[in-house]
Chain A
């Protein structure tokens, strides 16, 4: 580890504990929708020993009906190198451990003092960094098969994992990444803290799907930072239905003109779950397009949050940004907090936003019931129809996932009456 890196880790670790002890997260603007009280007692140290797993064993743990991908498998926060199937001309894959080279040095340098509370888990990730991977694509290289990032846990105790993935795409390069956090139904609570850093050069394209289906005792924090140059495109689909606390954060920066970003999400929260979504799009320069489209269904005593910030800098003329958050609350006991935040300093822009939080349409429920369908069944049918919108959009960019995801959605325990 370089001296600079070592010092950085030390400083962030100290800063991390300082923040941890000195911050009332409930009062913090950035974390007010996430219940972080578990941090007081949770062991923050990572899993101590890596575990190897053969693909046959993995297939038993996760049902994946889609084939043809490049596996990138983490077990207990450690990469299973034996399963790496890509690399070579045009693509380079590097595996980094906590004491490895400082591939994330640039990211660390960008990490500002005033972000210590706001990006608390990024701070934590830096301080307790376990392992990471960086994938670089050369100019105009198109990775034909998608990368399948599987993050598995084979636990024996309460522990954490802190990983980072960096994707650097040179001009015109393209890739798709399918990120799956399956439910492993374990006994212990686990904290998964994942960070993604994407750098997209001119005309590069990334499509990113995330499925968060962690066990109900787990804490899941997922941060993605994307920087885009001219005509670069990033499309993401985030599905959250697992974990006790699931936080999905995306920070987008347009650094050159012509960039396009589309952020889509679907969350199903039930029981005592807490699912939060935090999007921040910085239009630092003009002529870029950003879309946010998040749908949610919540029931039971669950709490969900959506914060969509769009900042349009003074010189970012001709920005085109839209934001939509539609949530259906199925029980009066469930709580949704939606916060559109638009900061616009340019005068020639198109920025739209809309948020609706409400129950299912009574007329629609009546229509189905008037044909003999029970209230429960009608509610389930309509809620499912609402969620299908996300899966229809997903299919456009990930046709290989279409049927698998539709089945996952249909068979979700969210639709069970008693939960």
Chain B
């Protein structure tokens, strides 16, 4: 369970979150919508611990394995090892670092932290192969450097592959559906559905209801000026598609 209480944050002295209250329970899928600059991406970055954001007020309580922890006091990597995941809206290209090796290092860091045995190259390749096929990712993409010369769609799929491999407890997916063709959108939505489970939370940050049609969220939150101005069910997303944000 992740409980966000009165969260305020700023970047370069500019307020971006102005009092967010949100309770996320295992098994739930939440959608976060709102106009550009409303603070949707900022929320996911603050939760993941992005170094450019400063939390000025509020707290985030994270309950994992029946233990409650103050998330904001944890380092970025510790949050990730405890099951917090954020997919990047613009996944970074990192030349010189192999995608597969990066994925294995991350996976093993989490295994080690959770007391599970680490995987060698061969076992890990088999393990990833299954996830990779599910997302229609070619083997070649794993051999290449992280996101280097990937298409927009491949980058997004690679983010979801990371999620599938790391199986987080809370995943914030920041505009994972932006810039995808119809087929890729379906593949990614299928991938997310497969990761979705009774014991994890998925937060979809999106501008479009298309992905929500596939994933059917339990809650839809409307963000405006760094606050949640309305919460409803999935019908809210369809209403926004028709009417826009002016009434929220």
Contacts and interface: CB of A to CB of B under 8 A. Distances in A.
Interface of A: 362-364, 366-375, 377-378, 381-382, 384-386, 388-389
A348 B245 CA distance: 59
Those 3 A-B pairs whose CB atoms lie nearest each other, nearest first: A385-B96, A371-B106, A372-B80
A311 to B, nearest CB: 33
Contacts of B91: 367
Nearest to A388: B96
Contacts of A374: 77, 109
Interface in B226-241: none
Given A362-B52, A366-B76, A382 B94 contact: yes
B102 interface: yes
A362 B105 contact: no
Contacts of A381: 97, 102, 105
Given A366-B50, A366-B76, A385-B97, A373 B92 contact: no
Interface of B: 48-52, 75-77, 79-81, 85-86, 88, 91-92, 94-97, 102, 105-106, 109-110, 113, 145, 162, 166
A414 to B, nearest CB: 15
A413 B229 CA distance: 55
A356 to B, nearest CB: 15
A377 B75 CA distance: 14
17 contacts: A366-B48, A366-B50, A370-B49, A370-B77, A370-B79, A370-B80, A371-B102, A372-B80, A373-B77, A373-B105, A374-B77, A375-B77, A377-B105, A378-B77, A385-B95, A386-B96, A388-B96
B50 A372 contact: no
A371 B97 contact: no
Given A366-B50, A371-B80, A377-B105, A384 B96 contact: yes
A229 to B, nearest CB: 37
A372 B94 contact: no
Nearest to B101: A381
Residue from the set A362, A363, A375 with the largest chain B CB neighbour count within 10 Å: A363
A364 B86 CA distance: 14
Contacts of A384: 96
Contact of A371 (B52, B75, B113, B162): B162
A377 B91 CA distance: 20
Nearest to B91: A367
Nearest to B110: A372
Given A367-B94, A385-B94, A389-B96, A375 B162 contact: no
A171 B50 CA distance: 59
B97 A372 contact: no
Nearest to A384: B96
A386 B96 CA distance: 7
A207 B30 CA distance: 60
Residue from the set B52, B80, B95, B97 with the largest chain A CB neighbour count within 10 Å: B97
Given A369-B80, A370-B76, A364 B94 contact: yes
B92 A364 contact: yes
B88 A367 contact: yes
Contacts of A382: 94, 96-97
Given A368-B94, A371-B109, A373-B109, 17 more contacts: A364-B94, A366-B48, A368-B106, A369-B80, A370-B77, A370-B79, A371-B162, A372-B81, A373-B77, A374-B77, A381-B105, A382-B94, A382-B97, A384-B96, A385-B94, A385-B96, A388-B96
Given A381-B97, A388-B96, A372 B106 contact: yes
Residue from the set B50, B75, B77, B145 with the largest chain A CB neighbour count within 10 Å: B77
A374 B96 CA distance: 18
A181 to B, nearest CB: 26
Nearest to A392: B96
Given A375-B75, A381-B105, A370 B48 contact: yes
